Structure formats: structure tokens, C-alpha cells
Amino acid sequence: MAQQRRMGGQPMFILSEDSQRTQGRDAQSSNIMAGKAVAESVRTTLGPRGMDKMLVDSSGEVVITNDGATILNEMDIEHPAAQMLVEVADSQEEEVGDGTTTAAVIAGNLLGEAEDLIEQDVHATTIVEGYHEAAEIALEAIAEQVNEGEVDDEILKQVAESSMTGKGTGGLTAESLAETVVEAIRHVETDEGVERENVAVHTQVGASSNATELVPGIVIDEEAAHDAMPSEVEDASIAVLDVELGVRTGEIDAEYAIDSIDQLNQAIDAEESEVQGYAETLAESGADVVFTTDDVDDRISSFLAGEGVLVFDNIGNSDARQIVSATGASRVGALDDLEESDFGAADRVRTKNYGDDDLAFVEGGAAAEAVTVFVRGGTEHVVDELERAIGDALDVVSTALASGEVVPGAGATEIAIADKVRSAAAGIEGRKQLAVTAFADALDVVPRTLAGNTGQDPIDALVDLRAAHESEGRAGLITDGEDVTIDDPFEYGVVDPADVKREAIESATEAATMIVRIDDVIAAE
């Protein structure tokens, strides 16, 4: 009453007039539709026969990819509920590095099933509870599918290859790339675990992807400061500086009142000797290779070239950090402070020209703690997609190695999960049972989609897969060259890390239940 009097009897608005509000079923169905649409948009890219997408942004920039997270991020999705599916893909990418399409597709189907349940008057909270319960059972089912033996190099290669098939890497290439990927991850394996961040990927256009190789060190986009510098230095002592090597800018700007030629000569001499001083200090320091984040005067470069020192100037801050961490060098901010103990070491530093690009390779010795997959490919689009595929492969191999757990791919794990969840549903009372069954149906979408993308009839394939699962245990829809067979994926080396499946179930369930629970959308103008 008091409030109404204060408001003078006027209706009270708490929202701005321009804001839009959708409530109840309308809000639910519009959110669900948006989420489903997003999942639908990546469905055709799933699996070894998945197709690619070409995405063109407003400035005409083109990306060709098969990678779920990349597609969803490039699509510039605005709808807030749809955006939550993009987040599913992103968190999948971040946590385990692969399975982004799978996670988005499962989330989309969980939403589709929820929509049907809502139409049958099953309450949203019942659906949410049922989905969470089903997700728990799904995790148990995944645990039952985990391989028994050790995850050795052979299996790691299969994990890498399974994640790369269908990524435009070509048949033979995927196999040799898988080998490179496993070698890279083994290289950064320590007692404390896998140091994934020590594996870099560097792309360089201009050769076939078969030329992709593992560099025992780091690769950076830099060229020598002077043409006459050596292109290769063995057993390098490496200095990393944040020092401008030249006459300091401040001094050049200072005004000289020069009255005579003598004075001018004096000033020039002073400058010359300052420059000479830097050059000699550096040459005498014993560094064979110098990286600095600042300018180097041409006279100094030329002098150091004569001394056989290889110098890189104006290097980026992140490159400097990489060199420091790879070679054990300490960054030095003033030339006078440079001591031998600040030097890093590498077996070899070399520069190489690739058409328009110059690259520096810092290899071996202390630098070999880091490795770089040096990706080659014919065109920019090819190397970009290869870079994403190799990035995924590095992630899955490191995930599989860290946990030592892999599960059968090709839809076999999803079939097993759906089966277990469906059986468990029978023991669940009330309408929640419907939600648990719906969860199982939503998981069928993975094998169904794999079948559809290989040109098979999805329903027939699903029926056959279930029957094979019933009689044989492990059964997936394996694409092997031209053939599509129902068999044990482990026999064909089609394996995924268990954590990729777990994460997909968890993030898809989380996003779908979050969207289902919303019954009121208030959008500011």
C-alpha cells in the first residue's frame, strides 16, 4: 500500500519499455529450437566421411574446416541459447581438445528429446533430473568400455589417427602424421606428466603435407639482421636481450648547437664510438646468437656479421619468451649486465628462407625440451586445417597418455551407453523414466549420424549395431577405406580417449538441462 501511494497510483515498470520478454512454453521452445539448429549445422561434419564447411566472414576471409569448435565460433552466433552450445564446443575443445562435434550434436538431440517430453507435459525439472541421472549411468557405461591393456605407442597412434581421419589429411598422410604426433608427445612426457604446452605447431605453406616434420626445438618467424651473418651456428651460446643496440633515440633528438666542422666531427665520432662499443661488448661477451626485442643499428649488425655472430632484432615478446624457456637463457635488459650465466644453449640455430618467409630454427641441446610440429601444405587453407587437425591429435594423444584410458570409437561407446541407460530406465519410477529413456535415444544420434554421413541408412545401421552390440559386445560402424563394416573398433584401431567421451556427455548434459530450465527470457533492446 505504502509503495502504491508513493508511486502515485501509476503502474510500476521495472523493465525498460524496449526490452522484450518471452515466457513459458514460448521461451522454452524458442531456446530449444535455437540450440537444435546449432547442432544441426555441424551434424554433417561428424566422422571420417564428414564433409567440410566453407565459412566466409564479412570481410571475405575464408575458412575451410571440419572442426566443430571452429565452425561454431566462425558462425557468429547471436541467439543466447544457441551461444550456449557454442560454449559446449569451446569447453570440450579446451578440456580435451576433441569431440566438439559429438558434444554439440548430443546436446542438440538432448534438446530435441526434451521438446517432445515437454509436449507430453513432462515438467522441465523432471527432465533435468532424469538427464542428470542418465548422465551418471552413462559415465559408468564409459568406464565399462575402457581398454584393458596399457596404452602403448601403437594405441596412441590409433588415437591420433582416429582423430584425424576425415580432416583433409589424406589416407597415407594421416598415418605418418599420427607417428609424428605421438613422437612429439612422447618427447614432452616427464615424470610429472605430459607437458603439452611444450609442443608447438608451426605452419609453412609451399610443400606437400608429406613434408611435415618434427623439429627438436622451436621455430620462429624471424630473419637475420644482416645478410652477411651465418645462416647456421652450431653449439650456440644464446643471448636474449631487451636492449636497443644503437645510439639511443633520446640522444639523437637532443639538440646540438654546432658552430664548427670540428664540433660536428666530434659528435659523429662520439656516436661512432658508442656504436662500436656496443658491437665490441657483444662480440666479446661470447654470445654466438643474439635475439633482441629492440632495434639493432646497421653498423652494429655489419660489425657482428664480420665476427660471425647471428643476430635477430625486433623479435616479438612471445618469441622472446619461447626462446628463453626453450634454451634456458635469461632475458637481459642492459648490455652491461650481460654475463655468461645469462646465455642459453642450443645445438644449432639456423635460418631458412621459404619464398616470402624467413624462419629461424633453434634446435637441440637445452632447446630440445620443446618440440615443434613443422606443418607443410600446398596452400594456406590446407595448412590451416592441418594445423587444427594436428592440434586435436596432439590433445587427444596427451589426454589418452595422461589417463591411460581409451574407448572404442565409431559409435560403439555411444551404443553401449545408450544400451545401459535404456536398461536402467526400466527401474526408474514415474515420469523421470521417460527422461532417462530420452537420454538414451539422444545418444543414438552419434552412430546414426556416422551412418548417415557414410551414405548408409541410419535406422538400418542402428538396428544392426544394436544387434551386434548385443551379441558381440563392442560394435561400431567402421569406415575402412571404401568399406563400411560393423565390427569391433579396437580391431581396426578406431579409438577415442575415454575423457573425450566423458567430457562430451557432461558438457552436453549441462548445456541442455540449463536451456530446458529457462522459462523466461528478458532481453534488453
Residues marked active site are found at: 67, 100-101, 392
Instruction: Single out the residue of 130, 246, 409, 458 in contact with ligand ADP (rule: CB under 6 A).
Output: 409
The residue with its CB nearest to ligand ADP is 409
At closest approach, how far in Å is the CB of 171 from Mg ion?
17
Q: Within the chain, how many helices (H) and strands (E) appear? A: 18, 20
The entry of Mg ion, ligand ADP, none that residue 410 binds, CB within 5 to 8 Å by partner kind: ligand ADP
Handedness of CA 415, 397, 167, 481 (dihedral sign): negative
Do residues 418 and 440 lie in contact, with contact meaning Cβ atoms separated by under 8 Å? Answer: yes
Q: Rounded to 5 degrees, what are φ and ψ at 204?
A: -145, 115
What is the C-alpha separation between 225 and 242, in angstroms, rounded?
Answer: 15
Choose between 35 and 344: whose C-beta lies nearer to ligand ADP: 35
Instruction: Single out the residue of 71, 81, 85, 99 in contact with ligand ADP (rule: CB under 6 A).
Output: 99
The entry of ligand ADP, Mg ion, none that residue 509 binds, CB within 5 to 8 Å by partner kind: none
Decide: is 499 part of the binding site for Mg ion (CB under 5 A). no
Choose between 130 and 409: whose C-beta lies nearer to ligand ADP: 409
Q: How many residues bind ligand ADP (CB under 6 A)?
A: 23
The entry of Mg ion, ligand ADP, none that residue 165 binds, CB within 5 to 8 Å by partner kind: ligand ADP
Q: Rounded to 5 degrees, what are φ and ψ at 201?
A: -120, 125
At closest approach, how far in Å is the CB of 98 from Mg ion?
4
Do residues 376 and 206 lie in contact, with contact meaning Cβ atoms separated by under 8 Å? Answer: yes
The residue with its CB nearest to Mg ion is 98
Decide: is 410 part of the binding site for ligand ADP (CB under 6 A). yes
- Collapsed DSSP state (helix, strand, coil) of residue 334: coil
What is the C-alpha separation between 134 and 435, in angstroms, rounded?
Answer: 8
Residue 272 Cα to chain centre, angstroms:
50
Choose between 224 and 394: whose C-beta lies nearer to Mg ion: 394
One-letter amino acid at 230 equals P
Number of residues written out for the chain: 525
At closest approach, how far in Å is the CB of 292 from Mg ion?
41
What is the C-alpha separation between 133 and 441, in angstroms, rounded?
Answer: 15
What is the C-alpha separation between 304 and 293, in angstroms, rounded?
Answer: 17
- Enumerate the H helices of 23-99 as residue ranges: 24-43, 68-74, 80-96
The entry of Mg ion, ligand ADP, none that residue 327 binds, CB within 5 to 8 Å by partner kind: none
What is the C-alpha separation between 105 and 112, in angstroms, rounded?
Answer: 11
Instruction: Single out the residue of 93, 98, 115, 384 in contact with Mg ion (rule: CB under 5 A).
Output: 98
Q: Which of residues 141-180 bind ligand ADP (CB under 6 A)?
A: 162-163, 165-166
Decide: is 506 part of the binding site for ligand ADP (CB under 6 A). no
Q: Cβ neighbours of residue 238 under 8 Å, at least 6 residues apart?
A: 287, 288, 289, 290, 291, 323, 327, 329, 343, 344, 345, 346, 349, 362
Instruction: Single out the residue of 70, 91, 101, 509 in contact with ligand ADP (rule: CB under 6 A).
Output: 101
Choose between 225 and 410: whose C-beta lies nearer to ligand ADP: 410
Decide: is 496 part of the binding site for Mg ion (CB under 5 A). no
Decide: is 48 part of the binding site for ligand ADP (CB under 6 A). yes
Instruction: Single out the residue of 98, 113, 244, 503 in contact with ligand ADP (rule: CB under 6 A).
Output: 98
**Which x/- pattern over 477-496 shows residues binding ligand ADP (rule: CB under 6 A)?**
xxx--------------x-x
Choose between 98 and 385: whose C-beta lies nearer to Mg ion: 98
The entry of ligand ADP, Mg ion, none that residue 456 binds, CB within 5 to 8 Å by partner kind: none
Helix (H) or strand (E) holding 118: helix 100-119
At closest approach, how far in Å is the CB of 131 from Mg ion?
24
The entry of Mg ion, ligand ADP, none that residue 435 binds, CB within 5 to 8 Å by partner kind: none
Helix (H) or strand (E) holding 434: helix 432-443
Q: Rounded to 5 degrees, what are φ and ψ at 199?
A: -105, 120
Please report, as ranges, the residues that interact with ligand ADP according to CB under 6 A. 45-48, 50, 68, 98-102, 162-163, 165-166, 409-410, 450, 477-479, 494, 496
